[in-house]
Structure 1
Amino acid sequence: MPRRSALAAGMAATLTLPVLAGDLRAPEDVLQTLIDDNESAYLTQSEQNIMMMPDNAALWTAEEGKELFFEARGPNNESLETCDLGKGPGVVDGAYVELPRFFEDTGRVMDLESRLVYCMTSIQGFAPDDPEVKQRHGSDSDMMKLQTFIASRSSGLPWNPPMDHPLEQAMRDAGEVLFYRRAGTSDFSCSTCHTNTGNRIRASVLPSINQPHEWTKAISWPAFRVGHQQVRSSNHRIRGCYWQMRQPQSIPGSEAAIALMSFWTDAARGAPAILPDKKR
């Protein structure tokens, strides 16, 4: 697999280095390390995407999300700097790779999207039907901008969802059941596509949950989908998979959706996150 050109490397420095610090790593560097260390048809199937990672449009979405995070907004004219994502009020670095997790103030396990909804309504005063909260899909939505910014602050860090609370373990276990549960008119499950190495849907190589170097890329959302020309979230990906399995649509923020994310994140434990990613 060819290395990035000098021009691409320079553009990567322009776009990503100012927002990275400490143990965080540019997503293209994380991906290249995985490719160098592992033989995987899934990781290397799109040479064009690999070369274009430094130009990932999701980087601009993350920058817009950063502005929104620190901007005083909503009826309460508050920023999200008091929003606790699991590591303390306003702390975003390393928060995403430790989600979903249990939150004492709500008494439930929450993923990033449901936690943002809670913070935007309880802190900023938005109503659930306000477009800032209700619109969840697409690069222009506030929700997608905020998610991409927060996720970008975990790039290169290992997935490490907590399993200390009984509900965290219960959600993870429920997600495992959902992952392997066959249903629908085609009798498909998530495992139908994602438990064998080298499976394909037409020309696309599918990631295996049994290969951490593949699974970390599979669950590294938000990501810019070239075919959609939009940044997409984990919930959007789950919805797409259930549509492909001809099963009822997943509901963002539901116990089922969060359980599935709890399981798939635990399955990637220890592997470095690629955030934001760029996918076909």
Structure 2
Amino acid sequence: MIRKSVYFLAAVAVSAAAPAMAEGSATDEIARYRQLLADGNPAELWEMRGEELWKAKAGPKQVSLEQCDLGKGPGVLKGAYVELPRYFKDANKVMDLEQRLIYCRMNLQGLTLAQATAVPFGAAGKQSDIEPMVAYITAESKGMKMAVSTSHPEERRAYEIGKKIFFYRAGAHDFACATCHSVDGQRIRLQDLPNMLNQRDAQAAYTTWPAYRVSQGEVRTMQHRLNDCFRQQRFPQPIYGSDVITAVTMFLAKSADGGVFNAPALKR
């Protein structure tokens, strides 16, 4: 019922915007469309479910995730996401939010890796636990500025690897992330493609993920966004929670330093 309402609102918004399409650019109309829907962002439902999952006792050990340390101390969520990815001493590696959630589900709740990553992305007939928790956790950093550290050697290493992957061309179409996201003014169909080498673009793009995608009726995380980029480049699909995705995320997050975080947002 919720999804039907969302699609109805989307249809109304598009219909209302149609007469103005001749006067304004497609980009302006897409922005207006998002604004019309923003007050009732369904991502709030994912946030509520995420809070329940975060506080619920689960796994073989029957404990909650409230002692999970996301970088600012056990259970501290405020401001945690805007400093991720980061180096975690207990794991001896740089982790993004989703990697860290997997780690906590395994080490605190006693889940196996297979159990902790069984359903990373929601789809028809499947409900993800990860996406709601990501929505809940990231919402706790809304309004705060991105402040990703590269002071630790492993953080600098992750950044440099992510940068190399961003520019690496391969696959059937000889694409790289940079093919679409290193030039000003590019678009695909009606969608503007942010230039991630331009700090303003990087800030505007990165700080609006995760997001509720109207076309899919789901909240989508940064892992999902990058996974889909690899798919469109015709690259092999990355393993969920892989260091490859974390490295690219590190490069993008650092590029967005200083931007005000405003997610979960709303996307087409």
> Structures share a fold, TM > 0.5?
yes
- Which residue of the partner structure matches residue 69 of structure 2? 84
Match of 1:49 among 17, 31, 34: 34
Distance 1:182 1:278 in 2: 30
Of the candidates 143, 148, 161, which is equivalent to residue 156 of structure 1? 143
Query: Which segment is superposed worse, 136-145 or 75-84?
Result: 136-145
CA deviation vs aligned residue, 1:141-198 (integer Å, no higher than 9, x gap) = 1111111100111112111111121000010011011111111121111111111222
| Structure 2 residue corresponding to 1:246, chosen from 208, 231, 234 | 234
Unaligned runs of 5+ in 2: 1-24
Matching of residues 27-42 of structure 1 within 5 Å: none
Cα deviation for residue 135 of structure 1 reads: 0.8
Distance 1:52 1:95 in 2: 27
Instruction: Tell me if structure 2 keeps the 8 A contact 1:42–1:214.
Output: no
> Alpha-carbon deviation of 1:43?
7.7
In structure 2, the residue matched to 1:260 is 248
1:55 aligns to what SS in structure 2?
coil
- 2:240 matches 1:278: no
| CA shift in 2, pair 1:54/1:196, >3 Å | same
Of 205-214 and 147-156, the range deviating more from structure 2:
205-214
Deviation, structure 1 residue 42: 5.7
3-state DSSP of counterpart to 2:109:
coil
Residue 103 of structure 1 is matched in structure 2 by 88
Q: Deviations over 1:11-32 (max 9, x none)?
A: xxxxxxxxxxxxxxxxxxxxxx
1:229 has 2:217 as partner = yes
Equivalents in 1 of 2:266, 2:28: separation in Å? 11
* Structure 1 residues 42 and 109: alpha-carbon distance in aligned structure 2, compared to 1, 3 A threshold: farther
Q: 1:134 aligns with which of 118, 126, 129?
A: 118
1:41 Cα offset (Å): 7.8
Does 2:65 correspond to 1:73? Answer: no
Match of 1:120 in 2: 105
User: Per the alignment, in what secondary structure is the counterpart of residue 30 of structure 2?
Assistant: coil
TM-score calculated relative to the size of structure 2 = 0.85
Helix, strand or coil: the match of 1:215?
A: helix
Specify every segment of 5 or more residues in structure 1 that has no aligned partner in the other structure, as ranges.
1-39
Offset at residue 257 of structure 1 (A): 0.9
Q: Which secondary structure does the structure 1 equivalent of 2:78 belong to?
A: coil
Instruction: Decide which moves more: 195-204 or 56-65.
Output: 195-204
Instruction: State the aligned residue count.
Output: 240
How far residue 57 of structure 1 moved from its aligned partner, in angstroms, is: 0.9
Deviation at 1:264, TM superposition (A): 0.3
**Residues 44 and 176 of structure 1: CA distance in aligned 2, closer, same or farther (over 3 Å):** farther
Residue in 1 aligned with 2:78? 93
TM-score (norm 1): 0.81
Whether 1:202 aligns to 2:186 is: no
Q: Deviations over 1:87-119 (max 9, x none)?
A: 000000110111111101111101111100110
Question: Whole-Å Cα distance in 1 between the matches of residues 110 and 179 of structure 2?
Answer: 43
1:44 Cα deviation (Å)?
Answer: 6.5
Residue 272 of structure 1 and its aligned partner are, at CA, apart by: 0.8
Contact 1:217-1:274 at 8 Å conserved across structures: no
Aligned-partner SS, 1:178? helix
